[in-house]
Amino acid sequence: MAMDTFKQLNIGKGRAICYSGFREGQNPGGTYPSYAEIKEDLLLLSGHWKYLRLFDCDLHAQTVIEVIRQENLDFKVLLGAYITAEMNNFNCPWNGGVYSEEQLEKNKKENLDRIDKLIVLANQHPDIIFALSVGNEACVEWTDHYVPENKVVEYVKRVKKGAKQPVTFCENYLPWLFKLDKLAGEVDFISIHTYPVWEYKHISESLDYTKENYEAVARKFPGKPVVITEAGWATNSNGRGINPENVNEDYQKTYFDKLMQWADKEQVLTFFFEAFDEYWKGSPEPFEPEKHWGLFKIDRTPKLAVKPNEAL
């Protein structure tokens, strides 16, 4: 069922990873990683990964692009615009998803600014930025930043009109199966997220479940390229949403090895989530799962999956 997405997107073969370089004490909208810090990160990733996914066209992304250019590094970037809530989502299971009308109007203006910034950066760096995404997990039922499908379609059309790169929208696999037909028709390729461990799957079921997710979307939209823009395995959990017994470095290595072997064999562009642990995410609790998806720890030491001479 898998198709050669590298050939479909007219890009060279290579492994892909989600990159967000926020270190301890740093966070989006606060302190951003420096040029030197991002250079250190990219030198760690260079030679092992060719494709980087960046989540927003913010200062972080601009510095990443600058480092790639100045240091002459062999990376290509899937650049996203992070769009925030334009409608309330009362289904959000945590304390989020509901905003004042004033905030929603403000978000709409800021989203349009982000979309236009995405177009500007795409046109400034066509040799580095190979594809564009108009949002991230904004249509799934549990999101705290809900944007209706029709609005996402408008953003896709706006970016396609303003930039030459192929355009996508990054979303959990389920909405593609049940409600995003119109959006699927507009994007140049479909981007899915698959997280077996969030769905209480054991490591022994992990790859089969990811393949099922991928193949279900590929079957529904034959002829349309389908890329995996997030798939990963956490290494710690406080028990909220993920059984602590299901996450550790051994399991992450198992999933990473199996997933990359499958992606290489089937030639499916697959962005592993993610390069480095990010402590700013999730709750303040130290074992909050959101903080522990990196292949490298927050101090940049490698976890088992990427220790020297292993899995690279």
Poorest-confidence range of 63-72, 119-128, 156-165, 303-312? 303-312
Tell me the β-bridge partners of 54. 79
Q: Which residue type, as a one-letter code, is found at position 199?
A: E
Tokens of 171: 């979303």
Average pLDDT, the chain: 96
> How high is the pLDDT of residue 223?
87
In the chain, where the domains are located: 5-306
Instruction: Summarize pLDDT for 8-36 with one digit per residue, the tens.
Output: 999 999 999 999 999 999 999 999 999 99
Q: What is the mean pLDDT of residues 176-197?
A: 98
Domain 5-306 has CATH 3.40.50.11390: no
Instruction: Summarize pLDDT for 158-178 with one digit per residue, the tens.
Output: 999 999 999 999 999 999 999
Q: What is the mean pLDDT of residues 272-277?
A: 98
Percent of the chain with pLDDT over 90: 96
Q: What is the mean pLDDT of residues 101-128?
A: 98
Q: What is the mean pLDDT of residues 253-270?
A: 98
Instruction: Summarize pLDDT for 125-164 with one digit per residue, the tens.
Output: 999 999 999 999 999 999 999 999 999 999 999 999 999 9
> How high is the pLDDT of residue 311?
44
> How high is the pLDDT of residue 310?
45
